[in-house]
Chain A
Amino acid sequence: MESTILNKEDEKIIQIESTILNIDELSVSYGGDKYSIDKVSAGIQKNKITAIMGPSGCGKSTLLRAINRMHELYPETHHKGSITLGGEDIYKINPIQLRRKIGMVFQRPNPFPTMSIYDNVIAAYILNGIKLKRSEKNEIVERSLREVGLWDETKDVLHKRGTFLSGGQQQRLCIARALAYKPEVILLDEPTSALDPIATAKIEDLLVKLKKNYTIILVTHNMGQAARISDYSMFMYLGELVEYGKTKKMFTTPKDERTEAYLMGKFG
């Protein structure tokens, strides 16, 4: 079966806008001949939010982790196909360099419990052993925390540990940590699945604001979330990219019956 189903109209629009990340026939395996995602091709648009949807085990996290090569933390993984970031093959650059260009936010808020809020924001610099002047550090911390709307809440407690913050605040701190290095792309792996509705709404508003400066790829279990904030959506099923296109279009007139069934809540 054809792995990418794009209608002509969508294809035209996607080509007109600029592609920052091009995924070409990508297959990823965690060992052996079984591929968790199979021949996925898609062009991710700059300064847009792209949502990846699909039932558990469909390969959406694997696809996301292949973009910053986090899947390589498992020793047996191998892949076929390619991903280019701004024309450059990501599998040819050092993963450490790559991960500075592509930030990541995880399912559960995971600020470093042994570091202060301040140090958490500049964790990328601390971890990589990059020395900064105090004024540079202050500037990065303030800019990043302002970007995620956490500055006013934390400016007086910057040197305390981040563990007393609420779940939503911790997740915004993690987003600030990912932004501190000014990445081009931010990957979010179900970032609100551990949060309450109010905190979720705040994160969603934040992501919409952030797309001005960053390209955002969001894995979500929550169809409503994809509908509310994403510009483009992918629907994945059993490792296959079933459908990819403008979110509005996909939610109103899905091309594939499996997409339609999923969106209607028939499975997943």
Chain B
Amino acid sequence: MFKLITTDRQNYRMKSERLFQYFLKLSGVLILMMAIGIIVTLIIGSIPTFKEFGFGFIYSPDWNPTEGRESYGALPFIIGTIVTSLLALAFTFPFAFSIALFLGEYFREGRMASILKSMIDLLAGIPSVVYGLWGFYTIKPIIVELGLNAQGFGIFTSSFVLAIMIIPYASSLSAEVINMVPSNLKEAAYSLGATRFEVVKNVIIPNAGSGIFAGFILAFGRAIGETMAVTMLIGNSNNIPTNLFDLGNTMASLIANQFGEADGLKYTSLVAMGLLLFVLTGILNLIGKMIMKKFTA
């Protein structure tokens, strides 16, 4: 017969089990506290700016660090960010969408698909600064050559490079969603005499539509926060851009460029810009993830 005696060894094992659980909990809580800590410091750090300018900070077009006449407004940078990201999204769309259809429907397996997949993973793995360098030495001279812009820097140049950078995010999520369209719906359409293109148009796109949209929103979120490559290519002008080949600045590139020499009100304004950026990308991520979740549920 068995006897329920706890030996020293069993005691030790139970203790280590409990210890491991504590460790897991601690790591979870620590991450949560760090995230809260970042938000809290951003809010506290930006209080002086909002005290000084109120919500005018968001819609004022001035960024003037001259002592005595200091005035800080985020509008040129908000516009710069949104314009570059939207333009990048527009450039990306035809390519990312085709890749998604290719990987999610036409060639789900086989050599071509695996080669393309690893190429896309490779694109995602290239450091941002390398993209910036490539844009600087390859794209910028082409823009100058074409006479689109005297210096080659600006909104268009950075959007072009951004577009390539976000292809992996937009295409891999969309491909996943396209892949998830139930095969019994596709079979139903084929059994009614539809061609493959008709199946894509009438069954796959309508059924995967919201998921594809979410994929592009998440890619948009990435484009908004992208810093290094944009900083290297956008020209860093603090004025509101008036055309696509104008110089500009995004929220992220402004922070990257100016944080080193900032103090006082300028510093708190950069922190406030960081807070805005954080909120903006946070909201976009949330929307994208919510649509995705609804799709996969």
- Give chain A's interface residues, CB within 8 Å of chain B: 68, 70, 73, 96-100, 103-104, 106-108, 110, 112-115, 123-124, 126-129, 174, 177-178, 181
Contact = CB atoms under 8 A, between A and B. Distances in A.
Contacts, number: 70
B192 A127 contact: yes
Contacts of B195: 96
Given A96-B193, A127-B194, A106 B188 contact: yes
Contact of B187 (A106, A115, A123): A106
A60 B95 CA distance: 42
Contacts of A107: 184
B151 to A, nearest CB: 48
A152 B90 CA distance: 48
Residue of A70, A129, A181 with most chain B CB atoms under a 10 A cut-off: A129
B163 to A, nearest CB: 30
13 contacts: A99-B190, A99-B192, A104-B188, A110-B182, A110-B187, A112-B207, A113-B185, A115-B206, A123-B188, A124-B193, A126-B202, A127-B194, A128-B193
A106 B190 contact: no
B198 interface: yes
Contacts of A124: 192-193
A110 B190 contact: no
Given A110-B182, A113-B207, A114-B207, A128 B198 contact: yes
B193 A114 contact: no
Given A110-B182, A114-B207, A127-B202, A174 B192 contact: no
B189 interface: yes
Contacts of B206: 112, 114-115
A129 B191 contact: no
Chain B contact residues: over half helix, strand or loop, or mixed? helix
B240 interface: no
Contact of B184 (A68, A110, A114, A129): A110
A112 B203 contact: yes
Interface in B192-241: 192-195, 198-199, 202-203, 206-207
Residue of A127, A177, A181 with most chain B CB atoms under a 10 A cut-off: A127
A29 B92 CA distance: 42
B198 A73 contact: no
A113 B184 CA distance: 12
B4 to A, nearest CB: 48
A98 B206 CA distance: 26
B184 A97 contact: no
A113 B192 CA distance: 16
A128 B198 CA distance: 7
A177 B185 CA distance: 13
Contacts of A178: 191-192
Contacts of B187: 70, 73, 106, 110
Contacts of A103: 191-192
Given A126-B202, A127-B193, 7 more contacts: A99-B193, A103-B192, A110-B184, A123-B192, A124-B193, A129-B198, A177-B188
A93 to B, nearest CB: 11
A98 B195 CA distance: 12
Contact of A70 (B182, B185, B190, B199): B190
A131 to B, nearest CB: 14
Interface string B172-188: 00000000001011011
A99 B192 CA distance: 6
B294 to A, nearest CB: 13
B273 to A, nearest CB: 42
Nearest to B198: A127
Given A113-B207, A114-B206, A114-B207, A128 B194 contact: yes
A123 B193 CA distance: 10
A44 to B, nearest CB: 18
Nearest to B183: A73
Contacts of B198: 127-129
